[in-house]
């Protein structure tokens, strides 16, 4: 940027940083997505095309930012976990936050046509926030919190739309029927009145979507490897599995119990 007598205005810029070695979650939410889903005639209770478009945008975020090692999405929201060790943008909060939000938004609009035959009616928006967690327990509880939310919302919505679509009730009537019901009662309504066994529904809807990398096998150092290759391979071996390398997979499974985390211990590794 060119210098001039006005250049002093740069001194007003802040460089707030993420607390070193803490876990950072960036959560993004669709703005006015109730209206957005009406205009684009999303299927109820879940629109597979929309969820897959969301997942494709999240995948782009992981492709763009190596240090995002985990993502979880449901409905019109997505959460991204940054490694505590990241030095991305010198840990500047605003840069990291806007990088994630912009990449997600850009990919969502860019990929839309892959999932929908009707064009976008207008440019959709997402907002975002960062949250700092000092301890692995908080990270697990954060993702558990989102998956419990997925479950509760999906059970409600599935029952609600069965009552409306199959039961021929109005939305107002459906709300009234569901008021005060607990989970077991919703399962009952679904099964007895509409023949739907909730447990057999697609895990994409019941569990949400998890994005994580499959770590590549540790490379061997070839006896006759070039010096450069050897250096690079040694570095990879030294770093070990840190979640930043390997193909990205999209899973729909339980993130609350221990199994998911025990299978991927690097996700909660906090120190160098």
Binding residues: 29-34, 75-76
Complex with a copy of itself: residue 124 or 243, whichever CB lies closer: 124
Signed CA dihedral, 231, 244, 136, 132: sign only: positive
One residue of 88, 125, 233, 245 binding a copy of itself per CB under 8 A: 125
Complex with a copy of itself: residue 17 or 169, whichever CB lies closer: 17
Helix (H, G, I), strand (E, B) or coil at 271: coil
Distance, in Å, from the CA atom of 79 to the CA atom of 77, rounded to the nearest integer, reads: 7
Nearest by Cα to 215 from 55, 69, 73, 26: 69
Helix (H, G, I), strand (E, B) or coil at 43: coil
Binding of residue 17 to a copy of itself (CB under 8 A):
yes
Please, are residues 115 and 53 in contact by the beta-carbon 8 Å criterion?
yes
Binding of residue 265 to a copy of itself (CB under 8 A):
no
Which two tokens mark 182? 């607990």
Binding of residue 73 to a copy of itself (CB under 8 A):
no
Complex with a copy of itself: residue 153 or 232, whichever CB lies closer: 153
Minimum separation from the CB atom of position 230 to a copy of itself (A): 28
One residue of 44, 95, 230, 245 binding a copy of itself per CB under 8 A: 95
Distance, in Å, from the CA atom of 110 to the CA atom of 156, rounded to the nearest integer, reads: 32
Only one of the segments 10-18, 47-55, 197-205, 231-239 lies at the binding site for a copy of itself (rule: CB under 8 A); that segment is 10-18
Residues ≥6 apart with Cβ < 8 Å to 67: 82, 83, 85, 86, 88, 244
Binding of residue 246 to a copy of itself (CB under 8 A):
no
- Site residues for a copy of itself per CB under 8 A: 1-2, 4, 6-14, 16-17, 19-23, 28, 31, 60, 64, 84, 94-95, 97-99, 101-103, 105-111, 120, 122-135, 137-138, 141-142, 144-145, 148-149, 152-153, 270-271
């Amino acid at each position: 940027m060119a210098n001039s007598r006005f250049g002093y205005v740069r001194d007003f810029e802040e460089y707030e940083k993420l607390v070193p070695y803490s876990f950072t979650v960036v959560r993004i939410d669709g703005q006015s997505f109730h209206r957005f889903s009406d205009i684009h005639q999303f299927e109820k209770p879940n629109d597979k095309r929309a969820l897959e478009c969301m997942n494709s945008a999240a995948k782009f975020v992981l492709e763009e930012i190596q240090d995002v090692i985990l993502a979880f999405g449901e409905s019109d929201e997505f959460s991204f976990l940054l490694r505590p060790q990241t030095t991305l943008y010198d840990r500047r909060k605003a840069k990291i936050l806007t990088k994630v939000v912009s990449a997600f938004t850009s990919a969502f609009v860019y990929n839309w046509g892959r999932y929908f035959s009707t064009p976008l009616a207008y440019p959709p928006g997402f907002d975002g926030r960062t949250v700092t967690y000092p301890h692995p327990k908080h990270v697990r509880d954060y993702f558990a919190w989102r998956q419990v939310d997925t479950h509760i919302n999906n059970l409600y919505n599935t029952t609600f739309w069965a009552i409306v679509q199959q039961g021929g009730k109005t939305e107002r009537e459906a709300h009234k029927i569901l008021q005060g019901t607990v989970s077991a009662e919703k399962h009952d309504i679904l099964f007895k009145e509409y023949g739907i066994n909730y447990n057999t529904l697609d895990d994409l809807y019941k569990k949400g979507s998890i994005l994580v990398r499959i770590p590549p096998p540790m490379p061997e150092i070839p006896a006759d490897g070039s010096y450069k290759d050897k250096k690079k391979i040694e570095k990879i071996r030294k770093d070990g599995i840190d979640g930043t390398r390997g193909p990205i997979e999209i899973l729909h499974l339980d993130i609350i119990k221990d199994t998911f985390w025990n299978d991927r211990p690097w996700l909660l590794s906090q120190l160098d």
